[in-house]
Chain A
Amino acid sequence: MKTKNYLILCGGVAVVWTLGLLFVPAFSNAVEQVMLLFLSRTAG
């Protein structure tokens, strides 16, 4: 993928992801649960 297209992809993903976290509670809760699972398995 060309750099320009890649940067556009990154920007789009960041915007969509942020909006999802802010306005879709079920999505942000699911993301937090995945992060909590990761931390609880690796923090020791």
Chain B
Amino acid sequence: MKALKIGLQLVLLLALILAVTIVTLRVENSGADGPSVLFPGGELVSGELHSGAEPDWGFTDEVFTIELQLERPLSSRRIFIMESEGKVYVPSGYMRSFLGRIWKKWAFQADQGDGLAVVRIEGVRYERKLTRLEGGPALKGVASKLASKYGGGATDKAVASLMKAVVDGNTWIFELAPRGAGL
């Protein structure tokens, strides 16, 4: 009985620490100029705002993560980036899992909302529009880049697996399109 009580007390203490951690870090980061490693941040404020012609996005091959901020709701997070055929994309995985639905709420908000976003890459901010890529000829190049940059390599099996994950809806891919695109 005594051991059970001690065990219960330990579990409750660990749960308390977890809750304190989540609340503290979430509140601390919510108004920050950009996200932390795990918790969303606020509006991306610092950094030059890019204007003019589309850049050569090839430089993002050397960038591991970028900061992505939605306009509505105003929050930001860190995310992978892939360049393929002159366009840039961001992924969101685990979309059909329970944790994914909690962790990746931004992707649902981007898909259901207007998708307006700002990304900050190496200190420069770019105004973009998130457009979901669910298939089509561009998908293979994006999956190949995702596998080679963040996976174990772009083998046929890995690329096919990623393409299936996108088609099945477990992984979502958004193009960071120019805001004027499609208007």
- Please list the residues of chain A having a beta carbon within 8 angstroms of any beta carbon in chain B: 1, 6, 9-10, 13-14, 17-18, 21-22, 28-29, 31-33, 35-36, 39, 42-44
**Chain B contact residues, majority secondary structure:** helix
> B residues engaging A (CB < 8 A)?
6, 9, 12-13, 16-17, 20-21, 24-25, 28, 36-39, 93-94, 97, 99-100, 103
Counting from the closest, the 3 A-B pairs by CB-CB distance are A43-B99, A43-B94, A32-B38
Count of A-B contacts with CB under 8 A? 55
Contact B21 A31 (CB under 8 A): yes
CB distance from B95 to the nearest CB of A (A): 10
Task: Please name all residues of chain A whose beta carbon is closer than 8 Å to the beta carbon of B20 when the two chains form the complex.
Answer: 14, 17-18, 21
The answer on a CB contact under 8 Å between A42 and B38 is no
